[in-house]
Amino acid sequence: MAGTAAGDPLLSRLRGVVRGGDTVLDVGCGPGRFALALAPEAAKVVAVDPSPVMLSLLRRQARRDGVDNVETVTGRWQDVHVEAADVALCSYVLPLIEDAGDFLAKLDASCRRQAFVYLSAFSTDALFDPFWRRFHGAARNPAPTYLDAMAVLDELGVSARVEIVELPVRSRFTSVAAAARDYRQNLLLADTAEVRKELRSLLAPWLVRTDDGLRPPLQTTPAAILRWKPTGAGRQSLPSPRSARHRAVAGS
């Protein structure tokens, strides 16, 4: 089934720690890639996401798969109340969070045995930077990576293990014109005929043609799996006011 977590390195690590009687907490679950994959391994999965649409997709797929032990909670992680779980995970959400310190402290406090955070070990802005410089005349500020997250965890008194894994590049475009539309939005460019033409001329020799479409000239990118045993002391250790590291991981 497309969009599942099958074959993802994080899933195998999670399956190595989730036991039959466990409760699993998936924060920022989206359409439920990991929540649904872990449901057969656990007693219950609690899936939290601020998007009702994403949770609706999760519930629909759960019905199709005959999964009845996934509980959905709508809301921002910082605002919802859930009971502590045995295993907690957060996949590719942290860079979108305004206050990473509070977010991670709550994740730590809501986990009894093992916490996982999954995020990029490579700033995809590096791919956009040459185009950004071409149109904007300056370098593009890189997005936060796992190093920023590790710094925030360190400030919270949390000692996390990090493992770097490789993920296939899944971005595909049906045509150069479709890629140009996507890049124009990411580059914050005006939708003009001149901009579209220049982007198409730049992307045509750069994109790699595959059996299922066009992709950027990378086959894989590195990702980081951060994992730790919860301390319960994260929130009490949160520095105030927010440090520059907290702002960096939030991308602000």
Residue 30: closest CA among 109, 90, 116, 108: 90
- Predicted confidence (pLDDT) at residue 3 exceeds the cutoff of 90: no
- Predicted confidence (pLDDT) at residue 38 exceeds the cutoff of 80: yes
Query: Which residue ranges does the chain devote to CATH 3.40.50.150?
Result: 9-170+219-250
Measured N-to-C along each axis, helices 193-203 and 125-136 cross at an angle, to the nearest 10 degrees, of 130
Secondary structure of 116-177 as H, E, C letters: EEEEECCCCHHHHHHHHHHHHCCCCCCCCCHHHHHHHHHHCCCCCEEEEEEEECCCCECCHH
pLDDT-above-90 percentage for the chain: 74
**pTM score, whole prediction:** 0.82
- pLDDT tens per residue across span 118-168: 998 887 778 888 999 999 999 888 777 899 999 999 999 999 999 999 988
Let me know: does 95 contact 119? Beta carbons within 8 Å.
Answer: yes
Domain 9-170+219-250 bears CATH identifier 3.40.50.2300:
no
